[in-house]
Structure 1
């Protein structure tokens, strides 16, 4: 699986400078978040060429808050945000994070 765990604003800024990437914010203790992360992992198996990253909210709270504030996307966990050219173009949270919704978001935003 080609994914990167990020924990700092510097790591995020490096990703945002790329053309596009999918970010997953998840909680290490929430069952809904665990289910969403499993959907993300399934998605990764079939989309290994996609740039993706994730953060664990409990380990990177300042980064999670920074992203919410800087991009005007209310913090939720779990949350998926697709960035293109430095801007968020799609996001989903909770049970809306599935293999299918991630696949459709990537295809529709290309």
Structure 2
């Protein structure tokens, strides 16, 4: 019925009934200075970094599945989004600072200034986020 709604004035801003509310608020990771902020924040609460390649279909699919992992109980988690293609220097520094080998896509969980968990590709979707709330 979408075609008829468009032709005859359906509600443009109406969300589909099956669309899930997102509890994930991405924080763009765009500067090296933010790594110091992440380390500092991780002293009181775990901080997540999601490294994503915008040209990779697998990365896009894993990112969507990762977003679906978030429930209301996870909304307090800080999650940084790193676009690998535009911020390769930051990705390199993330690997060096947190002592992880670069992968894409990749999820790092930082606690007390160190990476306490990292996963790549489909293993990201197996991460139990509740242990870090």
Of structures 1 and 2, the one with the larger relative CO (CA 8 A, separation 6+) is 1
Structure 1 consecutive aligned stretches of length 4 or more whose deviation exceeds 4 Å: none
Aligned mates of 2:68, 2:130 — CA distance in 1: 16
> Distance between the aligned counterparts of 1:83 and 1:36, measured in 2?
20
Larger relative helix fraction: 1
Preserved CA contact (<8 Å) 1:2 1:44: no
In the alignment, what sits opposite 2:33?
Answer: 10
Number of aligned residue pairs: give it. 106
**CA gap 1:63/1:82 in 2 versus in 1, 3 angstroms:** same
Give the root-mean-square deviation of aligned CA atoms.
Answer: 1.6
What runs of 5+ residues in structure 1 fail to find an aligned partner? Answer: none
Structure with greater Cα Rg: 2
| 1:74 and 2:101 matched | yes
1:72-102 deviation per Cα after TM superposition (whole angstroms, max 9, x unaligned):
200000000001111100000011111xx23
TM-score by length of 2: 0.72
Q: TM-score, normalised by structure 1?
A: 0.86
